[in-house]
Every structure is written in structure tokens, then in C-alpha cells.
Structure 1
Amino acid sequence: MLPPSCILLLVLHQGAPLIQPPPDAVCKQLQRIELALVPLAEAPEICVSPGLMTNFVFDSPVKVELQDEVRFQEMTRGRSTLSLLPPPDLVKGERLRLTATLGEGSTQQRVTFSLVGDPGRSTHQVEVYRDKRPREALQLEIAQGQAKNQQLLDELDQTRAQLAQLRVRLEQASGLLGLIANKTLSEKGIQRQELKKKELVRSEGVLAYEWGYGYRSDKSIAAELWLKNSSPEPWTAAVGSLVDAQGHEVGRMKLRQENPIEPNSEGSVIVEVDAPRTQGHGELMLWLRDENSRGITVRGLTFP
């Protein structure tokens, strides 16, 4: 019979390990799992790594339970999704249990996954299907979504092209080029005259008229008014109208104001009204209001 020391040397020489290391999990960037094809006795293995996010996408509403959840750096639950960032101290071969309950009511199905630690390698996305038909439906939905996105991208390109055309037209519409093209300019040109204070009744209120000019072309009349804001709030014109002595509106008005008129400051407002040369004569009344109905009424305006 061999002495105990010889027996110990024989065992060490043979090198029989007392603990077998767990086999490496198969790491895929995208892992699809069809539960109908997975035996319930087996827990699908998912490769996870510290510092790398793993996302689960289920084809039905899901509730999850995660072993040692407090160790995880991040875990975000959605109605049918789960995103997790494994513990920073997760070692190679360590396994953590993830239990998912899919569906609701009598159609619930429970499945357990084994999250296997593998630093530096992880599965980016896990797609879980209860049977083949929802998977095909989900793939069809994804394809339809991609087609819709492409349609939106095409429409966006068309909108950008139309916007570029509008910008070109806008540039062409400015200056003398636009006046000639719109037949606004004739041999009479554009008349201008000062809107003097003596021709006006000074309005009382938050705004006061200081000075301005009136203009006339073949198709419209316009006024550039300088107003003083005596209120404690900035003022910006929102609506306005130009009416004749009988109270009839002369035409459709357009407003332009570069900046709000600050308290105790002066600022300009430009108004334009569609009116041929045969209209808009005599003394007219202009009223302007902001969004809070604060404004000014200017009477006695006369245009060239």
C-alpha cells in the first residue's frame, strides 16, 4: 500500500480538476429566440458584459424579474422592451437569472434567461417571439416602418426643394425686379409724402404717433409709422385695418414690424393695403392692435 504522500503526488500528476469552468456562452450581436422552439427546461443563454448595453425586444407586453438587480448600473423597462447595463464587477462565466412573463391574463407565458458574464463581448439585441407568426408580423411591421421612413425622407427632400424655389422667388420679388414683374410700377412710379403731425389727431393711450410717410403704387398704398410706446410692456402689432370716412375697409392689410417697440422707446411699423390708384383717397383712419388689444388709432391719414 502506497503512503499518503505518494497518493497526493499521483493525484497532482494526473491533474484532475476539482471544478470545471463553465463553457463560454455564444455571443451574437443579434440573437432571436422563438419560445415555441425552446424546451422549457433550458434557459436561453445571453452574453452580457460590463460597460456594454444589452436590449431585449419582446413581441408582447412583458414583466421582468432580475437577479441582483441592485448591482446593475442601469435598467430601463418598457411595455415590451428591456435595456440593461450589467454590473461593473461581473466576472467571466458568472450567471444571473432574468425571468420574463409575457402576455396578459390566461395567455401568459413565463421564460427564464441566463445572463452569462463575458467581459468585452455582449449581445447587443435580443428579440423574443412567442411563436413564428408574431415574428413574421413584426418583420412585416418593421418593413412597413422602413418604407414609411423612406417616404418621409422623400417628402422632406421635396419640401426642401420647394423651399429653395420659394427662396429664389422671394429674392426675385424684392427690389425693382419684383415691382416690375408684379406690374406694381408704371410711368407714375411710386409716390411718397410725409404724414405730418398737423394732419393728424394725436391718439391717447399706450402708443403715440410721432411721424411717418405715406406711399402709393399702382396696386397698393402703404404707410411707415413711427410710434412711441409709453406703456411698461413691449408692443408688437398683431392686427390692423385701414378704413375710409364711411367706415368701409379699404383693402386687405399686411403688417411688418422688425422689432417690438420697447417701453418709453420709439419704433416703426409698416402697413400695406391692396388698393388701386382709384381707391384709398381722402382722409383715412388706421388702427393697430397687439395680441392683448392694446394699440393706437390714427385718424386723418392721406396718401399721395
Structure 2
Amino acid sequence: MGRLAHWALGEDGLSLYVIPRGDYLPGERVKVTVRFTDGAAPASASFWLVGHAAKGTRRVYVFRQPRPPDVCEKERDEAQAEARQCQEDKARLLAEREEPGGLMGVAWLEGAGVVASSSIRLEVTKPPANALRLDDAWSYSYTPTGESRPASVAVRLGLSNPGTEPWTLAGAALVDSTGEQVELTRWPKAPIPAKGAGAVVVGIEGERAQLGCPCTLKLWEAQGPRTVTLENVTFPEGKAKGP
């Protein structure tokens, strides 16, 4: 910001006189730290000098009331705990906001009483080369009142990753009995950890949801050959239950 032209230390104050550089930019910051020698806490105080093209403050008053170190440590611990709680609450709210809508959201929340649902874990066939183990599988369909064909279908899978690297779902597709393939929306996008487990939901809405099943479900990751294929995937018939 500039060069320090003059400073003076008194019994109860510190005076600084700074000459700005000719090329300084507004918003540039310089940190000044003052250390106290009386052995009480807090032991120091830091200030930021911020450059401004037109405004300046000639005098800043800071009052220090020395306190025992254990009191300061207690306040520090409480502030850190509050900050951690805020971060956890923020992460939870963001996760809730990013949950999928429509049928996929219902499938993620396992709302079997809201849409037609069926456990298909014992029905599907799994090639031995699959990168992940299948722990659970549910299929869902939603047919609006007055219609005979589903408007939405979704699959919720519980998967285990036996590998030594995380597995991240990058894409999913359904291939119906006629060979037609449609890509699916997927959620969540967080990886399934190595030697761990996780769940994914894939689905589709609109006319493309009216597939001729049984279908083949394909899942793949962004990089590498590790894929998951499930054959004989079916969707239940029925309408959403009313309240």
C-alpha cells in the first residue's frame, strides 16, 4: 500500500503514518500486528490497513480488556464448535436442496406408499464382471390418473464397491426389449467409496419412460472400464396412491 513514514508507541496507543505508493490499487491490504508485553490474554491484536482512493480514517480506537487464558480458550472452543455446526447445517441444507424432484425424489426417499414400487433384487441378473455388488434394488413407476401408461420410471440401487478406488456414476441408460436405448437422469453424483457402500437413483420421465420391458440397465463411471449391468429389469404396474 505504501511505506511506513512514521510510527510512535505510547503507554496506551500506537500511531502510524503511512505514505501511499503511487501505483497502489484500491482494496490492497496490509496486515499490522501489535503484541502486548504484560503476559495477559489476548497476547496480540491484528489489523488490516485497506487502501481506498478517496476515503481515509485518521484514528481507530481499540479497547483491550485482559482476561485469563482459560476464558479465551473456552470462547475459542465455543466459537469453533458453533462454526462446525453451521458448516454441518449448511451441508445438510445444500444436500436437501439438491435432492432430485419428481419420482426420482420419491424413490430416493423410499416413498413406496406414494408410487407403485417393487423389489427386483432377486429378479435381475448380474454379470460376474460387474464392478459393484448389488445389495438392493427397487423399481418405481408413476401412472397419472386416467392414463394407462407410466409417465415416470425410476430405479433405486444399493451398491457395494469392493475395489480400492472410489466409483463415481457418470452415466446410466436403459435398453428395452426392442433394443432401444435411452439415457437416464442420475442422482446422487457423490462417489461410492472404496471398500464401502452407497445408493444411486436413476430415472426418466415423459414418453421415453414408456419402455418395453424387461430392460437392461447400464451404469458407467467417467473414466475406466468399471461398469455395472443389470438384466431383466422390470417396472411395476399401478397408479400412485392418493392421500
Structure with greater contact order relative to length (CA < 8 Å, sep ≥ 6): 2
- Larger Cα Rg: Structure 1 or Structure 2? 1
Provide the TM-score with structure 2 as the length reference.
0.48
TM-score by structure 1 length?
0.40
